[in-house]
């Protein structure tokens, strides 16, 4: 029952986000306010650059953040990414931009007066490395003996260029989109030199068991060869949401005939 409620909530949130995005597309934006926001903006209290605006795009100083489209409509700025986030503008002028963040903090910015601040936005951006997600090539080799037969199971975790984008809020309550990269995992079982089964696995294999919105924000992060019995060869796969404790574990059962079954643990 809990999982059904969660899926219903996710569907409601996704529908609301789509409706909000459609509504914003129909509304006229404040072109004067957008033109006034062009340039680099610095935090009043720390004098550190927060973001740079170029045209319709806002670039955060965080090297892991994704540039994001924005609009200014009436008294709010809307960030139009994977999620639509809005902040109420409290004050805007030629050199002043104040707004209320998602944590109800008043963020006070001023226009940068130093050319050196541009260097913050010109550095190479590398995808963030997440400590609970494997994002490098990994090879695993497991030997399991069953009924006096020696089986060898391999797992090859291959990073891809398939992006997973998540919106995270920083300590100031600013919604920042970060990019992570999914994996494709090749699994195979051998009896001596004879391959009994081999296949590439991606996260779409689990689409029947995971809500579409949750699946899109997850990474196929790990796989292990765990057992052999009279049913066949057992693998355990893990889907992980980057920068989160959220994860799901699935059992993959490969029959001696070569059919694959998936079960959620």
pLDDT digits (tens, 9 = 90+) for 131-144: 445 567 899 999 99
- Tell me whether strands 76-80 and 84-92 are parallel, antiparallel or unpaired: antiparallel
Q: Which residues contact 257 (CB under 8 A, 6 or more apart)?
A: none
Which CATH number is 2-122 given? Answer: 2.40.128
**pLDDT for res 177:** 85
Q: Does domain 138-264 have CATH number 2.40.128.510?
A: yes
3-state secondary structure of 197: strand
Q: What is the pLDDT of residues 166-204, one digit of tens each?
A: 888 887 788 888 888 999 999 999 998 999 999 999 999
Instruction: Say if CB 45 and CB 108 are below 8 A apart.
Output: yes
Confidence of residue 265 (pLDDT cuts 50, 70, 90): confident
**pLDDT for res 179:** 85
Q: Please tell me the pTM assigned to this model.
A: 0.68
What are the residue boundaries of the structural domains of the chain, listed by start?
2-122, 138-264
Q: What is the pLDDT of residues 40-78, one digit of tens each?
A: 999 999 999 999 999 999 999 988 788 999 999 999 999
Same fold, 2-122 and 138-264: yes
């Amino acid at each position: 029952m809990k999982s059904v409620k969660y899926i219903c909530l996710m569907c409601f949130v996704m529908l609301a986000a789509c409706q909000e995005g459609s509504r914003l597309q129909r509304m006229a934006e404040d072109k004067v306010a957008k033109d006034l926001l062009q340039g680099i903006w610095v935090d009043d209290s720390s004098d550190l650059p927060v973001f740079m605006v170029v045209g319709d795009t806002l670039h955060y100083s965080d090297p892991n953040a994704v540039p994001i489209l924005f609009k200014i409509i009436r008294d709010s700025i809307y960030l139009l990414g994977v999620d639509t986030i809005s902040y109420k503008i409290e004050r805007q002028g030629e050199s002043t931009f104040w707004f209320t963040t998602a944590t109800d903090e008043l963020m006070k910015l001023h226009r940068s007066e130093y050319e050196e601040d541009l260097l913050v936005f010109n550095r190479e951006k590398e995808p963030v490395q997440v400590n609970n997600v494997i994002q490098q090539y990994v090879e695993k080799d497991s030997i399991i003996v069953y009924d006096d037969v020696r089986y060898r199971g391999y797992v090859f975790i291959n990073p891809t260029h398939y992006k997973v984008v998540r919106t995270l809020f920083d300590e100031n309550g600013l919604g920042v989109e970060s990019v992570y990269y999914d994996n494709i995992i090749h699994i195979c079982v051998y009896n001596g030199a004879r391959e009994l089964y081999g296949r590439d696995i991606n996260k779409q294999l689990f689409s029947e068991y995971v809500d579409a919105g949750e699946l899109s924000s997850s990474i196929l992060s790990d796989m292990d060869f765990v057992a052999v019995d009279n049913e066949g060869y057992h693998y355990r796969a893990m889907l992980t949401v980057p920068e989160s404790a959220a994860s799901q574990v699935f059992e993959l059962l490969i029959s001696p005939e070569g059919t694959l079954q998936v079960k959620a643990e």
